[in-house]
Amino acid sequence: MKIGIVGLGLIGASLGLDLRQQGHEVYGVARRIDTCTTAVMQGMVDHAAIALDSLSPVEVVIVCTPIAAIAPTVAALAPHLQPQAVVTDVGSVKASVVAAATPHWPRFVGGHPMAGKSEAGLGAAEAGLFRQRAYVITPLETTPTDAVETVQALAQSLGSSLYTCSPADHDRAVAWISHLPVMVSGSLIQACLQEPDPTVRQLAAQFASSGFRDTSRVGGGNPELGVMMARYNQAEVLRSLHTYQTQLSQLQGLIEGEQWDALLALLAANQQARPQFL
C-alpha cells in the first residue's frame, strides 16, 4: 500500500519505520527540507517532500502534526487526494479534532496510538514503538465502515492493542488517566515550591526520593503538551479536576477530623482499585 505521513516527529517517523518494514511504500511530508533528507537517509520513508500535493498517489494519509494543525492539514490535503483515500491522525484528543477534520474529508477516521517517550522528534523514533500499546480508533456514526476497517487493520499490523470508541468516550477516559495526572502532578511540584523557609525547601529537595520522582514525573514533562491537553480537552479536564478536588477535600476532612479508620478504609480501597488500571 502507498501510505503518506504528514509530520515526521517521534510518532510519524516511528510509524514510517514500522510501515516500511511491512513492505508499504511510505511518502513523508515535513516542513523542513533537512528533516525530509534525514528521514529518507535513515529509512523512515521512501520519499519525502515539503508539499502536500506529493501525497496524491497514496491510499492512506496519517496526519502526525501537533493537534492544532490536524484539521487545517486535512483541509489543505483534500484537494490533492484520490476520492477513496482514507485520512487518519494520531492526536491525543479526539472530539474537537474529529469534528473539525471530518467536514473537510468525510473519509477521516480519528486515531490515537497511545505510545510515546520523553524525547521528541525524528531523532527519537524507533521501530516497534506501538507494539502492545493501546491504539484507539474513534469513528463517528457517519464514518464509512471501510475507512474505519482500513485504519483498524493498520493499527493491528503494528502489534498494538486495538480499541474502538466514540470521540467523546475517548476524551473522557484519557482525561482521567492521562490529562488529570499531568495537572495533579504539576501542582505537586508547584506546591513544594511555595515552602517559604529556604532551609526546609533545601531539605525537601535533598530528601526527595522515588516517591516524589514518580509522582512528579508527568507534571514536570513537556509544558506544550500539557497546554494542548487542557486546551483541546478543556471540558473533560475541568470535569475530572472538579471531581479530583472533591475527593482531595474529603481526604483532607478525614485528616482534620482525625478519622483514622475512615482514612485507612479509603487508602485501602485505593490500593485495591489501582491494579485494575495497570
Contacts (CB under 8 A) with its own copies, residues 212-241: 212-224, 226-227, 230-231, 234, 237-238, 240-241
Binding status of residue 258 toward its own copies by CB under 8 A: yes
Alpha helices (H) along the chain: 10-21, 33-41, 67-77, 95-101, 145-157, 167-174, 180-192, 198-207, 210-216, 223-232, 234-256, 260-273
Sole window of 9-17, 32-40, 122-130, 184-192 interacting with its own copies (rule: CB under 8 A): 184-192
Alpha carbon of 104 to those of 74, 117, 145, 162, 215: distances in Å?
6, 31, 18, 26, 41
**How many residues at the interface with its own copies, by CB under 8 A?**
94
Spatial CA neighbour of 13 closest among 25, 29, 1, 2? 29
Nearer to its own copies, 104 or 163 (CB): 163
Binding status of residue 50 toward its own copies by CB under 8 A: no
Nearer to its own copies, 6 or 129 (CB): 129
**In the complex, what is the shortest distance from the CB of residue 198 to its own copies, in angstroms, rounded to a whole number?**
11
* Cα separation, 278 vs 274, whole angstroms: 7
Binding status of residue 99 toward its own copies by CB under 8 A: no
Nearer to its own copies, 27 or 130 (CB): 130
Nearer to its own copies, 4 or 116 (CB): 116
* Cα separation, 5 vs 63, whole angstroms: 6
Nearer to its own copies, 51 or 193 (CB): 193
Binding status of residue 186 toward its own copies by CB under 8 A: yes
Nearer to its own copies, 78 or 176 (CB): 176
Kindly identify the residues of this chain, within the stretch 116-175, that bind its own copies according to CB under 8 A: 133-134, 136, 161, 163, 165, 169-170, 172-174
Among 76, 127, 140, 266, the residue binding its own copies under the rule CB under 8 A is 266
The string of DSSP letters for 149-216 reads HHHHHHHHHTTPEEEE--HHHHHHHHIIIIIHHHHHHHHHHHHHTT---HHHHHHHHHH--HHHHHHH
